[in-house]
Chain A
């Protein structure tokens, strides 16, 4: 019988899902290859250098990799791939950081060419001091040096010790909940190495993994979240599922209330505020970095802004845990995540958890609606900058949305969008509240609470609802506009309705036909389709039967009223 995989010369491995030996192939590849895409029929793995180095770190040898590949590959492995795998393994362990004298660190390099290169690198000249056969470096330079060497193509085997941090007794309250097996496994995978990223779908319970990691390390923890709502949710979860009381978990909200507790939660935007006279020039970061944290958790690690990468380089001596559902960045800085926070330690596919019932079964639809002739003309005449706003404000979208709401009568429905005017029009049409950037924090919490209780069954959200909003009761999401082609936003929005529930979840994207929205929607869906989700394309006529099409919708704003497209964004 033929084997299930095809090894390509660009180091990708295509694994046929329907093949009888698929599971064997998957198990073999999981040891040393990175799962890149897992759409229906064919999964794509990549034999990236990082994946191979991770395998090497776990004790997998080059022979084992080549034998494993040969065992699952239908054809002979391309010779360049064999060479590159051997080369990648040969590079692992060439550079090592070990504990030096007097609290400093020592970089040992076995390759003379790398030594010469390091000596001549102007960026590293101030960080590395030649001492005998190696280099001496300060603790703070650990991150930049590791990143620079990774740029050379040499991973650093970091054997220097990690700071333990101040102890903190925290336990998970197993009387209140039982962690899923994958959550325990993820926490253990992280605890073994002390730094790394865990990738799980939205709704899979990443907060619990954070809690379990804290329990295993028993140390003071700094949590970086994406926004205030997310920070509040972390606190709520930690207090309800962990043994900490309210005083031991603080939300750091800036200079006015600089609360620091054994477990402190803050936001990325707070940490990356410049100012102060501290060593990094980021006032709140300097303040927080001075605390004896033993663990730093990066929630939604795909959102880490550029300054945080720079700051994270300063935290290489602390244990670091990254949590995300969508490790895709439109700026392509995934490598920085791997280099500075740590490699991927644990991952479970969205469809896997869906099939096991840990997240809701979702059906995705793209509904294409036409534009009126006048609007189509206006769209054609508009500049590329204006066009997305015109397509997003297509009144026909509201008709489709109303019909979809009617189709899911009785369910909890979220309507999400990027442009505010169409959202307001939709709110008027549905008579439902809208939460956007202007909505005060308390009012938001009140509306969310009403939605959770069922007092409100339809809720409209602008981009503020993209991340970390926990509305587990929502089962339908209608997306009337999006931020260009963001794959991450699409996945995160789907994540809002993935809490397991009977009957599954429905995810709709309404797209104006013959506009760039069609292309952008295709790009947005890419991450989810690569995770194995199917999108069904429906036409407006399938949603709104001709007789019912005459639903009265308040007139949408015309082009002149829309004004500057940027002003429409919250």
Chain B
């Protein structure tokens, strides 16, 4: 019997599947009445007022149990429930059981018997409503008076660093680190320590305030930054939730926030260190007693920037963080310090224009955030630079499209003999002229080039992985009740029942919960080992929610480079270096869950499959397949295949710049080769199939010994 899919929590139990026997046992009613009672509770669970009342009257341990179930996806094994209740709320086993009992009385949970033992699940009909009311319950409010605020710049430095990436040309290298030279140059320009700067950029990337394109080029996410300046985190809703929880002004211990983050499903590796939180707009770090704590604050500020006639902009700490985004949209960052210093330059204005702003908008934005009138020469120069910016479009590399008025100037600059005017403002340059040369020539005469964006080819949709949707926070009153309970406040009564007397009713054996592990496994089965890009986006989305250590268990070696590029700064470089991605290990060790035994997968999947059949199937569905060409692997979204002599031509969108033609006999030989499992590789040594090109000596031996091919099976290869 499956878990319900009607709730946003993945593992809740439908109330109608709760047996009538259990209902009668719990409610001490007759079997005949049980059905009516179950229906009555189903109606109650749909009634918001009833739920409010229920939450208000439930004892604190029950609320805690509900919160733990919610943050674990709806279900917990009983020992884990006890353990987490103790760690998060300091509840003893008896108190936890009593809490369970009270929840059972309202039919808000269902006891289940799974393969590993007893577990408790929220019932589907009330799961979302309960989860939304108790989320963040462990964020116990501390005394406002005892909070000692630490130093805080309102998140301005982080925003400034993120905005500086608009012009910095900083990339994530293939090794997954930031480009050192550019980083050092930027650090020198801003007067920052390179290590601090790198940390800030990594943080901004983790918080999705900056993004990296397919080439790893980093750029600020202006929309996310504007929201962050107001204390909202568009791309990381969990932070929004936290801010909402803390916004009542009461500080919360950093430990509790750490646990809160750690407990949220999918959130593992992106856990934001609390000391970083303190550097964000909307949060302020400090201490209560001697323990670190955090409060949410409303980002505040006033128009306080000063623009001088020498085109310098001084942004004092009194400025609103949002002003910083507005200013740096049109300016070049000069220094991050107490007062941030920026400079308006022709290049910065032109770049802002190329991003879609107009001169009037830039001037108006600057005037709005400035406490003094904008100097006339500054506004006039900005309008002039913006208004006279000519942007040429470079299509197919050699077709230049400019306003007709600029046609003769551009033609003269590009060389009249090498240029043909095919329509007003449309010039075709000889093929022999490199695109780079054309762009440089245009820039020389003050024209910015723009390459039209080519829409990416339609691809099969990546497997959907739902993002973690944070629930609204528990109210301060509810969290205050937990705090009072922990203080043994007499007003917060202890549960009367010392231990639940109702045993969980054995139900049908349930499958393993459809949690992250299941999704990964399913995803892994349905994809080739080499991931298509959209698959990467999806898996990266998942990986972000895993801890850094777990990453190595998920992906194979072929993807390491791409993974490293994508993950980039998300993971500290030392973690990436430590990753051993070559062996796909059993996930049981990581997640403590059983997993069906499976034969070790051969390193190259295609060896055991009928390649031609797969290719033909792929051609019918236009899907992506992985092909191993001996020395390299490629992924091709196949559109058509056609045998030509001894070669098999595969037509499609080559994702990895490899030849599309594969020798037919080679493919056939591979396809006809016995599966790896049929011929124990280790015993006999691996041999290439007839007609197959053997792998190079330095790659891992296909026999899975872990040694290099030349040191393993090639050395024992029988000469044919």
Contact = CB atoms under 8 A, between A and B. Distances in A.
B381 A537 contact: yes
Contacts of B444: 380
B547 to A, nearest CB: 36
A519 B346 contact: yes
Interface residues of A, number: 37
A489 interface: no
A41 B308 CA distance: 7
A453 B523 CA distance: 94
Contacts of B408: 373, 377
Contacts of B480: none
Interface stretch (A25-33, A185-193, A242-250, A525-533): A525-533
A173 interface: no
A525 B310 CA distance: 8
B306 A380 contact: no
Interface in A518-548: 518-519, 522, 525-526, 529-530, 533-537
A270 interface: no
B409 interface: yes
Contacts of B308: 39-42, 529
B191 interface: yes
A18 interface: yes
A517 interface: no
B140 to A, nearest CB: 32
A519 B335 CA distance: 22
**Highest count of chain A CB atoms <10 Å: which of B308, B372, B412:** B308
Interface string B303-322: 00011111110101100000
B412 A16 contact: no
A537 B380 contact: yes
A283 to B, nearest CB: 44
A368 interface: yes
Contacts of B440: none
Contact of B388 (A8, A39, A373, A514): A514
B313 to A, nearest CB: 10
B446 to A, nearest CB: 5
Interface residues of B, number: 31
A14 B312 CA distance: 12
A9 interface: yes
Given A377-B412, A380-B444, A526-B310, A536 B372 contact: no
B384 A537 contact: yes
A412 interface: no
B659 interface: no
**Highest count of chain B CB atoms <10 Å: which of A18, A42, A525, A535:** A42
B181 interface: no
Contacts of B380: 536-537
A14 B314 contact: yes
Nearest to B385: A518
Contacts of B307: 41
B414 to A, nearest CB: 10
B54 interface: no
A225 to B, nearest CB: 31
B338 A75 contact: yes
Interface in A245-278: none
A535 B377 CA distance: 6
B339 interface: yes
A37 to B, nearest CB: 7
B197 to A, nearest CB: 14
Contacts of B384: 368, 513, 537
B445 interface: yes
Contact of B338 (A8, A16, A381, A514): A8
B337 interface: yes
A532 to B, nearest CB: 8
Contact of A366 (B335, B372, B377): B377
Nearest to A515: B446
A6 B316 contact: yes
B375 interface: yes
B413 interface: yes
Nearest to A73: B338
A256 B226 CA distance: 74
Nearest to B308: A39
A533 B309 contact: yes
A469 interface: no
A373 B408 CA distance: 8
Given A8-B335, A14-B314, A381-B413, A42 B388 contact: no
Interface string A66-91: 00000000110010000000000000
Nearest to A368: B384
A445 interface: no
Contact of A530 (B310, B335, B339, B381): B310
B437 interface: no
A232 interface: no
A522 B381 CA distance: 10
B718 interface: no
Interface in B425-451: 444-446
A39 B381 contact: no
A465 B561 CA distance: 65
A535 B309 contact: yes
B376 interface: yes
Given A376-B409, A380-B445, A40 B309 contact: yes
**Highest count of chain A CB atoms <10 Å: which of B314, B339, B346, B372:** B339
**Highest count of chain B CB atoms <10 Å: which of A75, A78, A513, A535:** A535
Nearest to A43: B308
Nearest to A518: B346
A46 B705 CA distance: 67
Interface in B538-593: none
A33 to B, nearest CB: 16
Contact of A75 (B317, B376, B381, B445): B317
Interface of B: 191, 306-312, 314, 316-317, 335, 337-339, 346, 372, 375-377, 380-381, 384, 388, 408-409, 412-413, 444-446
7 contacts: A8-B335, A39-B309, A75-B338, A380-B445, A534-B309, A535-B377, A537-B384
Q: Which 9 A-B pairs have the closest CB atoms?
A: A537-B380, A529-B310, A39-B308, A380-B445, A377-B412, A41-B306, A535-B377, A529-B309, A8-B337
Interface of A: 6-10, 14, 16, 18, 37, 39-42, 74-75, 78, 366, 368, 373, 376-377, 380-381, 513-514, 518-519, 522, 525-526, 529-530, 533-537
Given A14-B339, A39-B308, A529-B308, 17 more contacts: A6-B316, A7-B338, A8-B335, A9-B191, A40-B308, A41-B307, A41-B308, A74-B316, A78-B338, A377-B413, A514-B388, A522-B311, A525-B377, A533-B309, A535-B309, A536-B377, A536-B380
